């Protein structure tokens, strides 16, 4: 006979509860030391995100305003003109960060560049914008890479430096942030996180190399087109002169024909006179005189024949060739004029393109 097992009472036993408590204690021992680390990681992430957003905002501000904002020294979030070190002017930049950032800026970038820094060499009659634009800023950044001094408190040549505190101590008052870099171990504070934008990096972020290259190429194309226009003008002048020479040759041919016709008329008159003389001597009183008259008539007839041949030759070849030469040279002159007009259009298009690139600057 099988006996049924005794029924288990409801709830946990003391042993089970003891095991659960032991497990909880072990987990607490393992997890509790990690909580500060998790908080530190979160703070590091916030600092990194703030620095990245602030750097992007400052780069965008530089590209659109052609300068960097001044720091905020009274804590109202707005830039205070003339300052070079203080808090990041978050209101001016339209930022909402997790915490304040210390901000130090290159004084050379607080003012817009001179509008004369970039002046493309354009043909006469074409000029670029007279106000400062992005290309002037690009040239300024290129100059500062060679001439600018390191920012105060740093050992790098930068457009700006940002500092964000991630713990108590050095980061408690970012307005007095330590801008030193890790290269200076005596002044560097590990409790701070930094972000800097070098002048060369700013030059590259604003796509200055490509924009200056395109603007310079467009200006050079305009200059080359202008040289082509000058050559086309000289060629057209030469073709016009050639046309005038051809017309002069045609006129000479026509003049020669007129002289030939005049000689032909005289020859015909000589023949007529000789014929009259022969007729008047019939019957001839003197055989010698009759012979002389006959010879004169024959000579006049031969000369008239030569004159007729010359006139026919002039009509069939000389004048026709001269007229063909005038037509040919006039066609070449028309082609030269069309080429000149085409070169002028190319020059105008290249000049407009160069001015457009200079005017838009960093706008696109």
DSSP track, 177-211: -----TT-TTT--TTEEEEEEEHHHHHHHTTHHHH
* Range of lowest pLDDT (135-139, 150-154, 189-193, 201-205): 150-154
Band of residue 149 on the pLDDT scale cut at 50, 70, 90: low
Question: Which pLDDT belongs to residue 92?
Answer: 92
- What is the enclosing helix (H) or strand (E) of 165? strand 158-165
**Mean pLDDT within 316-339:** 79
pLDDT on residue 38: 43
The mean pLDDT of 67-78, rounded to a whole number, is 90
Spatial distance between the Cα atoms of 262 and 11, rounded to a whole number of angstroms: 149
Q: Is 50 exceeded by the pLDDT of residue 243?
A: yes
CA distances to 21, 42, 51, 314 from 167, rounded to whole Å, are 35, 12, 15, 109
The domain limits of the chain are 38-106+148-206, 213-360
Distance of CA 107 to the CA centre of its chain: 30
- Please say whether the dihedral angle defined by the alpha carbons of residues 89, 204, 140 and 106, taken in this order, is positive or negative: positive
Six token digits for residue 111: 């003012």
The mean pLDDT value for 263-269 works out to 61
Burial of 114 (0-12, 13-18, 19+ CB in 10 A): exposed
**What's the pLDDT at 186?**
47
pLDDT of residue 42: 63
Q: What's the pLDDT band for 265 if we cut at 50, 70, 90?
A: low
72-78: average pLDDT: 88
Rounded average pLDDT over 188-199: 72
The answer, yes or no, to whether residue 67 has pLDDT greater than 90, is: yes
Structure-block tokens of residue 172? 């408690």
* Better-predicted residue by pLDDT, 98 or 217: 217
How much of the chain exceeds pLDDT 70, in percent?
60
Pairing relation of β-strands 102-105 and 85-87?
antiparallel
Q: Which of 56, 97, 105, 107 is nearest to 77 (CA)?
A: 97
Distance CA 184, CA 196 (A): 16
310 pLDDT above the threshold of 60: yes
Look at the alpha carbons of 357, 360, 361, 364 in this order and tell me if their dihedral is positive or negative.
negative
pLDDT at residue 289 in the model: 55
Span 252-281, average pLDDT: 61
Q: Which ranges in 32-79 belong to alpha helices (H)?
A: 34-65
Residue 290 has pLDDT above 90, yes or no: no
For the chain, how far is it from start to end, CA to CA, in angstroms?
A: 96
* Mean predicted confidence (pLDDT) in 151-157: 58
The pLDDT score that the predictor gives to residue 326 is 78
What lies within 8 Å, CB to CB, of 277 at 6+ separation is 293, 296, 297
Distance of CA 205 to the CA centre of its chain: 18
Q: What is the DSSP letter of 158?
A: E
Q: Is the peptide bond before 14 cis (omega within 30 degrees of 0)?
A: no
Interval 124-136 mean pLDDT: 78
Alpha carbons 121 and 102: distance in angstroms, whole number = 43
**Burial class (CB within 10 angstroms; exposed 0-12, middle 13-18, buried 19+) of 360:** middle
Residue 142 scores a pLDDT above 50: yes
Task: Say how far apart CA 209 and CA 217 lie, in whole Å.
Answer: 12
Q: Which of 58, 83, 88 is nearest to 174 (CA)?
A: 88
- Indicate the pLDDT class of residue 197, thresholds 50, 70 and 90: confident
Burial 173-184 (b: 16+ CB within 10 A, else e): ebbebbbbbeee
- pLDDT for position 61: 93
pLDDT at 1: 47
- Could you tell me the pTM of the whole model? 0.62
Contact assessment for residue 110 and residue 84, using Cβ atoms and an 8 Å cutoff: yes
Architecture of domain 213-360: Orthogonal Bundle (1.10)
Distinct helix (H) and strand (E) counts, the chain: 8, 4
Q: Is 90 exceeded by the pLDDT of residue 70?
A: yes
Cα distance between residue 351 and residue 9, in whole Å = 98
> Is 323's pLDDT higher than 50?
yes
């Amino acid at each position: 006979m099988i006996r049924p097992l005794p029924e288990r009472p409801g709830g946990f036993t003391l042993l089970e509860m003891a095991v659960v408590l032991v497990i909880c204690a072990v987990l607490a021992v393992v997890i509790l030391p990690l909580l500060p680390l998790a908080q530190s990681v979160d703070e590091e992430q916030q600092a990194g995100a703030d620095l990245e957003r602030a750097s992007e905002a400052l780069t965008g501000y530089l590209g659109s305003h052609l300068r960097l904002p001044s720091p905020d020294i009274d804590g109202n979030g707005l830039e205070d003109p003339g300052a070079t070190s203080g808090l990041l002017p978050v209101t001016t930049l339209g930022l909402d960060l997790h915490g304040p950032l210390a901000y130090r800026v290159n004084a050379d970038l607080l003012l817009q560049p001179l509008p004369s820094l970039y002046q493309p060499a354009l043909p006469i009659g074409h000029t670029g914008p007279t106000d400062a634009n992005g290309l002037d800023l690009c040239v300024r950044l290129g100059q500062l890479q060679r001439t600018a001094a390191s920012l105060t408190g740093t050992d790098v040549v930068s457009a700006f430096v940002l500092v964000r505190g991630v713990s108590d101590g050095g980061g408690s008052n970012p307005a007095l942030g330590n801008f030193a870099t890790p290269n200076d171990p005596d002044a560097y504070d590990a409790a701070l996180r930094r972000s800097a934008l070098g002048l060369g990096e700013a030059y590259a972020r604003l796509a200055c190399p490509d924009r200056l290259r395109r603007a310079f190429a467009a200006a050079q194309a305009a200059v080359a087109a202008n040289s082509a226009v000058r050559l086309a003008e000289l060629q057209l002048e030469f073709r016009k002169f050639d046309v005038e020479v051809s017309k002069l040759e045609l006129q000479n041919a026509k003049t020669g024909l007129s002289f030939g016709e005049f000689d032909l008329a005289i020859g015909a008159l000589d023949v007529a006179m000789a014929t009259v003389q022969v007729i008047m001597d019939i019957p001839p009183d003197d055989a010698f005189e009759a012979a002389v008259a006959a010879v004169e008539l024959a000579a006049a007839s031969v000369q008239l024949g030569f004159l007729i041949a010359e006139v026919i030759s002039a009509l069939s070849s000389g004048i026709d060739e001269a007229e063909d030469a005038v037509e040919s040279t006039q066609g070449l002159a028309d082609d030269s004029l069309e080429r000149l007009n085409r070169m002028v259009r190319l020059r105008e298009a290249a000049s407009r393109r160069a001015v457009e690139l200079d005017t838009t600057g960093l706008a696109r």
